[in-house]
Amino acid sequence: MQYKWLKTERRTLHFLAITGLSAVALLMPSTAAAQAEVPVAAFDSIELHDGAKVILRYGQIHRVTLIKGSLDYTSVSVDDGGRLIINKCKGRCPRGYELEIEIVTSDIASISVNDGGTIQSQGDFPRRAEIKAGVSQGGTIDIRSMLVDSVKASVEQGGSILTTPQIALFASIEQGGNISYWGEPRVESSVKNGGDITKHN
């Protein structure tokens, strides 16, 4: 009798363990689409919303790759003006949901971050005449690896921009934030209600 009771208890514990693992799996964010290329139309600007990590690289063929995250929760689209728009959460996201995207493009004229997140350029880019960078309500744009003659940088209500203008920097901050630059560009600046424009060696 005792032997049969022990076998029954083992089966019960085994069933409970499997059930518990299944419940945990259901609660975890979906990553089925991770490391997947997202088909998009051509674009020349990027707009990021709600916090994510975006790596920007140069390449002749436009490509957007989901490194971490899922299109079940995230939306990636290009509007009629050629603007790549990334919304981390198109509805509700699971707790702890993380989004990481790699973008490859041959041309970029404008970059913006809204409500948190980071866009960072990596690797070499061909020299370009101008780029616009804007952060609103938190987030970071780091385009130090991009060789740009003239940079128009604006921060509103917190956030930071890091850049290396070759000729000119037009920097604007309103209600807090920071714009950091390297090199010896001509600087035209405006700061309202707090914020810092900082030169680094």
- Tens of pLDDT, residue by residue over 3-41, are 444 444 455 444 444 444 344 443 444 444 458 999 999
Specify if 183 maps to a domain: yes
Residue 38 · residue 69 · CB < 8 Å: no
Per-residue pLDDT, 158: 97
Specify if 121 maps to a domain: yes
Give the separation between CA 194 and CA 178, rounded to whole angstroms.
9
Its pTM stands at 0.83
Domain that holds residue 117: 30-200
Specify if 13 maps to a domain: no
Q: Say which CATH number the domain at 174 has.
A: 2.160.20
Specify if 156 maps to a domain: yes
With a CB cutoff of 8 Å and minimum separation 6, the contacts of 83 are 43, 44, 45, 46, 47, 110
Displacement of CA 4 from its chain's centroid (Å): 58
Specify if 14 maps to a domain: no
- Tens of pLDDT, residue by residue over 163-177, are 999 999 999 999 999
Band (197; pLDDT cuts 50, 70, 90): very high
Specify if 154 maps to a domain: yes
- Tens of pLDDT, residue by residue over 81-139, are 999 999 999 988 999 999 999 999 999 999 999 999 999 999 999 999 999 999 999 99
Specify if 15 maps to a domain: no
Per-residue pLDDT, 34: 55
Specify if 25 maps to a domain: no
With a CB cutoff of 8 Å and minimum separation 6, the contacts of 40 are 62, 64, 76, 77, 78, 84
Number of folded domains in the chain?
1
